[in-house]
Structure 1
Amino acid sequence: MTKETIIEKINDFLIDDFEVEEEVLEPGANLKDTVGLDSLDFVDLVVAVESNFGVKLVGEDFANVVTLQDFYNLIEDKLD
């Protein structure tokens, strides 16, 4: 799967499932402050990633995830 496809799928489910405004979905956007995800959203995010990409995430996976770009990179790494 290409990086562009990963980004597109992530952005699509953030817009559709989490009601995130498309204009805030910039790579440098902070997931909590800018995108507006809270701790409960991260639980739903794990489920969305599993259903969209077939990979399981655990809490430790998010240790260094602050921005949307960090999240894109995490999913890309998990798919390798």
Structure 2
Amino acid sequence: MEQLVRYQVERMLRRKHRNPALQLTPTSRLHEDVGLDSIDMVELVINLEHRFHIEIPDPELETLRTVQDVLNCVDEHLAEVI
């Protein structure tokens, strides 16, 4: 399941950045390295919620700084559902 989550998250980030060749690592920073602004972050969270059928509270959005933070967030919320 982790690989599927990672694949989906990276796919969303690449699509947002409009660069399919973007090299992402767990330590890639969403704002500085990927280039997401605040609107992109809100859209990312909405897409994650829709794709994985989870709910990410607004305050949690502020804690998402790296790709790994996003992966951890999705994993935690998926664990609550199961």
What residue ranges of structure 1 are gaps of 5+ in the alignment? none
Other-structure match for 1:62: 61
Question: Matches of 2:58 and 2:21 in 1, distance apart?
Answer: 26
1:58 deviates by 2.1
Aligned residues: 78
Give the root-mean-square deviation of aligned CA atoms.
Answer: 1.5
Other-structure match for 2:43: 44
- Structure 1's consecutive aligned runs of 4 or more residues displaced over 4 angstroms after TM superposition are none
State percent identity of aligned pairs: 26
Kindly provide the amino acid, as one letter, of the partner of residue 30 in structure 1.
Answer: R
What residue ranges of structure 2 are gaps of 5+ in the alignment? none
Question: Matches of 1:20 and 1:73 in 2, distance apart?
Answer: 23
Kindly provide the amino acid, as one letter, of the partner of residue 31 in structure 1.
Answer: L
Cα contact 1:24–1:35 (8 A) shared by 2: no
Cα contact 1:20–1:35 (8 A) shared by 2: no
Given the superposition, is the C-alpha separation of residues 20 and 77 from structure 1 closer, same or farther in structure 2, using an over 3 Å criterion?
Answer: farther
Q: TM-score, normalised by structure 2?
A: 0.82
Question: Matches of 1:46 and 1:23 in 2, distance apart?
Answer: 20
Question: Matches of 1:36 and 1:21 in 2, distance apart?
Answer: 14
1:20 deviates by 4.3
Q: TM-score, normalised by structure 1?
A: 0.84
